[in-house]
Amino acid sequence: MKIKQFILTTLLALAATLAHALDIQPYSAAALAAAQKADKPVALHFHADWCPTCRAQTAVLQELKSEKGLDLTVLVANYDTEKALKRRFNINAQSTLVVLKGQKEVARLVGDTTPDGIRSALKSAL
């Protein structure tokens, strides 16, 4: 019985940790709308597969997934195909990260690949 209780406690602790972690997923208009409607922190990463800076940013974001306290979603938008979204957010370069708290833009990075810079921008929405 004690083993079951230990396992349950461990699983609940793990679930709580994962619930407060950086979530990276492909961009969808529905996901962005839902986050904004709920006044949740969300970031848009305008990414191009051919862009080495974008790949470096992705590596940093993957590292930050294990960091506690970054309870927000990063939506990865295809820089080459999401033309209307680029116009909406006035995006002029790939490797742009736009951080939102609900409808309000709270940070913007272009070409920054430093963990501290990206972490700081993401935390500005929390």
User: Which regions in the chain score pLDDT beneath 70?
Assistant: 1-20
Which residue matches tokens 């995006």? 91
Please tell me the predicted confidence (pLDDT) of residue 6.
47
pLDDT of residue 18: 44
Given this model, what pLDDT does residue 95 score?
97
Domain definitions of the chain by residue range: 21-123
CATH number of 21-123: 3.40.30.10
pLDDT of residue 80: 97
> Residues 6 or more apart from 39 whose CB is under 8 A from it?
101, 102
Question: What's the pLDDT at 51?
Answer: 97
Q: Given this model, what pLDDT does residue 2 score?
A: 62
The pTM (predicted TM-score) of the whole model is 0.83
Which is it for the CA torsion 15, 103, 80, 58, positive or negative?
negative
